[in-house]
Amino acid sequence: MIYLDAAATAEYKKIDDIIVDTITESMKKYWRNPSSLYSSDIKEEIDRCRKNIAAFIGANPEEIIFTSGASESNNFAIRGWVDQQLMKDIGMINIITTPIEHKSILESVNNPSLGACVRYCDVDRFGFVDYNHLEKLLWFREKEPTLVSIGMANNEIGTIQDIKIISKLVHEYGGIIHVDATQAFGHIPINVEELGIDMMSASGHKISPVLKGIGFLYKKNGINIQPLIRGSQENGFRGGTENTFGIIGLSKAIEYCDVSSDKIEQMCKKRDYFISLLQDKPGRLFNRFKFNCRLNGSQEHRLPNNINITFNQNITGESLLYTLDMSGIKISTGSACNSHSIVPSYVLKAIGLTDEESMRTVRFSLSNDITYDDINFAVNEIKKAIKIIET
C-alpha cells in the first residue's frame, strides 16, 4: 500500500512502533487513576510530558491543557472565550475567522447559541488571509472584545499563513488570536511566543496514527476562558480522567518530530518532485501522456507534505480515489472530515475554483517515510487510473 493521506491521519512507520511500545508499557505501569492520592508517580509522569510538549512549542507547562484532540480544542477555545466575555457586562462580542477553516471551527462559530457576532475575513486565490480586510474588520470593532481564529496551515490546500504578521495586527487592535495548528504541529517549527499566539490547538494523530483521542489547547498565561468540560482535572480547565497513555505517547512522539530545516527541505524536495511529474515540467515534455494539472494553494508557503491538484482530464476526484484504491494507493478528495460529502469543497470554492473544478481535485498528502520510488509508482498508477476512467 502507498499511503498518500497523511493529512487525514499520519503514518510514520519509523516511530509508530516506538510509540506503541511506549504506550503499552505505560498501560502496564500507569493504569491507576492519576487523581488518586497514591498516584503521585503518574501525576509526575504527566507533568514531565506536559513540560516536554510545552518546551517543543516554546510555552510554559501550565499553559498546556490536554484535550481529546483538535476538534475539542477548537470548540474549547471559541466557546470558552465567548463564555468568559459573556460574564462581563459588555456590548458586542466578536469573532473573526475565515471561510477556509476546519469544520470544528466553522461549526463552533455557526452555533446559533454562541452569543457572538461572527465575521469572515476574505482569503486570496492561494488561501492567504487578506490583511486589508482583516484590518478593516478589526478597526470596525476596535473597542469591543474580539477573538480572531485562523488556521496555521490549511488541511486541504496546505497554505501556511504568516501568523506573526496576523497576530501583530490583531494585537494592535486589542484582539486576541487563536490558531488552529493541527496540520502544522510536528511538521514545521512553532514557537508560540515568537509568533505572538494567545491560544493554539493541536492533535496527536497528525504525527502518529496511534495518537487518536489526544491533543491539547495552548492557552497563554493571562488569557481567561471558561471550561468546555467542567470538572476538577487540568486545573479545573478540562474535566475528565486524564488520558495518561495518550499524553505519554504524544510526549514520546514529539521527541522524534524533526522540524529542522534539513528535514523540511528533504520533504519539500519530494513534494515538489511529485508536483513536477503531475505538471509535466521540462524534461518530461516528451512523455506522451500529459497531466497538465494545476496546483492549488501557495507554491512557496506550503506544508512540506501537501499536494492539492486539479486535474485537467475529464475525471472526478472521487472516481480517481476509487480506481487508485484498487491499486493500493490511498488518497483523499479533500478533508477526511468531509469525505462522505459529495458537495464541492468549500475551501476550494472560497479560493475561486468552480464546482466543476473542485470535483476534479484531489489531495495527496505525503508520509514522512515516502520514497522517490513510491512517488514514481504512484504517478504511474495515477496515469493508468486516468486512462481507465477516461475510456
Q: Which is nearer to ligand PMP, 103 or 133 (CB)?
A: 103
Nearest residue to the partner ligand PMP, using Cβ: 69
Question: What count of other Cβ atoms lies within 10 Å of the Cβ of residue 232?
Answer: 10
- Residue 5: alpha-carbon gap to chain centroid: 13
Q: Which is nearer to ligand PMP, 63 or 156 (CB)?
A: 156
Residue ranges binding ligand PMP (CB under 6 A) = 69-71, 74, 102, 104, 151, 155, 180, 182-183, 203, 215, 335-337
Question: C-alpha grid cell for residue 319?
Answer: 472516481
Q: Given the DSSP bridges, would you call strands 117-120 and 64-67 parallel, antiparallel or unpaired?
A: unpaired
Q: Which is nearer to ligand PMP, 183 or 310 (CB)?
A: 183
Distance in angstroms between the alpha carbons of the first and the last residue of the chain? 25
Q: How far is CA 216 from CA 185, 247, 275, 335, in A?
A: 11, 9, 33, 21
The residue annotated as part of the active site, out of 49, 121, 268, 337, is 337
Question: Minimum distance between the CB of residue 69 and ligand PMP, rounded to whole angstroms?
Answer: 3
Active site residue 257: no
Q: Which residue bears the cell 476562558?
A: 225
Distance CA 286, CA 294 (A): 19
Please say whether the beta carbons of 74 and 180 come within 8 A: yes
Question: Minimum distance between the CB of residue 3 and ligand PMP, rounded to whole angstroms?
Answer: 16
Question: Minimum distance between the CB of residue 126 and ligand PMP, rounded to whole angstroms?
Answer: 17
Question: Minimum distance between the CB of residue 147 and ligand PMP, rounded to whole angstroms?
Answer: 17
Q: Which is nearer to ligand PMP, 141 or 187 (CB)?
A: 187
DSSP 257-284: ---SHHHHHHHHHHHHHHHHHHTT-TTS
Q: Which is nearer to ligand PMP, 182 or 367 (CB)?
A: 182
Question: Minimum distance between the CB of residue 8 and ligand PMP, rounded to whole angstroms?
Answer: 7
Write out the catalytic residue numbers. 337
